[in-house]
């Protein structure tokens, strides 16, 4: 005997796909027609759902998608033919046959991978990652120079050379200029079809950082970097959670783990069905306000695994019951604001919320014939 339970979603992350399209077009307008805009959809499109986000970006005119690994690339390829898919890091020397059979583009991060691409034959397209001051992945400038003198790049030339800025969101940081100059030297040496230094934050550093292509992730999903213009990108997400219970608490009582909050008056509190299990940062304790209609309600005490507690003493009783939802993210309080309150990065907040909440898509266009094979993302509405 199988017990089948149908549960309503207590936590819903709403994702506005029209806003993602608008943000892509905003960046394309900013960099101009001579600069290609590629989209970074790694880590399940920052938690927002790889397939639905990819389809939205393709409809918006994107022709190149970057993913984290081969698993994400194969999922994309199973649904989208004809779109260029590049893999930031996964072993080409081990999985080369998968890359070739599914028309995937490896990003080469070291000399071993470079030589593996060479043995695959002249038909293998690849992107070359150059380390210019981030100290993560990529061939060093010395590596590139040595391979150039060995005429490696004459035998198999990269179609795109890329690097990554360490301080792109700090407009006055001298590291940006240092990395730009190092990248320019490699770009001029290899003369690739395209060069790409700037990701989302770097777009706002100006045209000298754009080269031939920018790789945009965070900005597409409504995340603002410090160097961005005001209202440069639209918010993409809203977060709603359900009130599960309402309780009356006398003065002086502890609320939550560690008794980090005690009531200073007789209080009416609501238990809301969201916690760090869903991606709400634990560090939001006693710092966050949620919205309920035109009212604002403070979070009391610590964030639990599945619940938070809010003060609704000053909200009319008829507005709060076990079917009421409160707003944690909105146009007026975005993922950037939540991240600031919690003292964490907005990218971390978004990917964790996307993984932990039921996702509901707004402005999802009816799939065209080219996209009819796309399944729904698990757990989405």
Which residues are catalytic, by number?
A: 42, 257
Residue 69 CB contacts under 8 Å (≥ 6 apart), including other chains: 87, 88, 89, 90
Secondary structure E strands in the chain: 11-16, 36-40, 64-67, 84-87, 105-108, 127-129, 160-162, 194-196, 213-216, 237-249, 254-255, 261-262, 267-272, 289-292, 295-300, 308-311, 325-329, 358-362
| Angle in degrees, 0-180, between the axes of helices 141-149 and 111-119, rounded to the nearest 10 | 40
For residues 309-330, b (16+ Cβ closer than 10 Å) or e, as one string? bbbbeebeeeebeeebbbbbbb
DSSP 8-state secondary structure symbol assigned to residue 166: S
DSSP 8-state secondary structure symbol assigned to residue 91: -
Checking phi first, is residue 69 left (phi over 0); if not, alpha (psi -120 to 50) or beta? beta
Q: Which residues pair with 360 in a beta bridge?
A: 14
Q: Where are the alpha helices (DSSP H) in 17-82?
A: 17-31, 42-46, 50-59, 70-79
* CA distance linking residue 301 with residue 199, whole number of Å: 38
| Angle in degrees, 0-180, between the axes of helices 17-31 and 50-59, rounded to the nearest 10 | 50
* CA distance linking residue 67 with residue 260, whole number of Å: 42
How many helical (H) and strand (E) elements, i.e. helices and strands, does the chain have? 12, 18
Say whether 102 sits in a helix, a strand or coil: coil
């Amino acid at each position: 005997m199988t017990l089948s339970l149908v549960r309503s979603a207590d936590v819903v992350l709403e994702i506005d796909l029209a806003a993602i399209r608008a943000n892509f077009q905003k960046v394309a307008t900013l960099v101009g027609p001579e600069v290609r805009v590629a989209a970074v959809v790694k880590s399940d499109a920052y938690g927002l759902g790889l397939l639905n986000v990819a389809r939205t970006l393709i409809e918006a005119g994107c022709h190149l998608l970057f993913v984290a690994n081969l698993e994400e690339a194969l999922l994309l390829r199973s649904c989208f033919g004809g779109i260029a898919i590049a893999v930031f890091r996964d072993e080409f020397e081990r999985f080369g046959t998968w890359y070739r059979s599914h028309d995937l583009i490896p990003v080469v991060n070291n000399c071993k991978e470079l030589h593996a691409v060479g043995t695959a034959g002249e038909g293998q397209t690849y992107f070359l990652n150059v380390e210019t001051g981030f100290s993560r992945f990529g061939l060093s400038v010395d590596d590139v120079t040595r391979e150039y003198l060995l005429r490696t790049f004459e035998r198999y030339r990269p179609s795109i050379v890329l690097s990554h800025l360490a301080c792109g969101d700090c407009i006055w940081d001298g590291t940006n200029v240092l990395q730009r100059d190092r990248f320019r030297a490699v770009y001029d040496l290899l003369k690739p079809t395209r060069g790409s230094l700037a990701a989302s934050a770097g777009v706002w550093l100006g045209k000298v950082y754009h080269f031939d292509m920018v790789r945009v992730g965070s900005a597409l999903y409504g995340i603002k970097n410090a160097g961005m213009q005001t209202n440069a990108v639209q918010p993409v997400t809203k977060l709603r959670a359900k009130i599960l219970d309402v309780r009356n608490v006398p003065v002086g009582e502890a609320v939550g783990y560690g008794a980090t909050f005690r009531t200073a008056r007789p209080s009416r509190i609501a238990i809301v069905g969201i916690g760090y299990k869903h991606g709400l940062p634990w560090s939001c304790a006693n710092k966050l306000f949620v919205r309920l209609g035109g009212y604002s309600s403070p979070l009391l005490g610590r964030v639990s695994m599945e619940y938070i507690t809010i003060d609704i003493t000053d909200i009319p009783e008829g507005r709060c019951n076990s079917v009421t939802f409160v707003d944690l993210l909105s146009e007026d309080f975005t993922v950037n604001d939540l991240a600031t309150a919690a003292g964490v990065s907005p990218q971390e907040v978004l990917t964790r919320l996307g993984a932990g909440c039921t996702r509901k898509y707004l402005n999802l266009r009816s799939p065209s014939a080219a996209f009819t094979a796309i399944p729904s993302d698990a757990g989405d509405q």
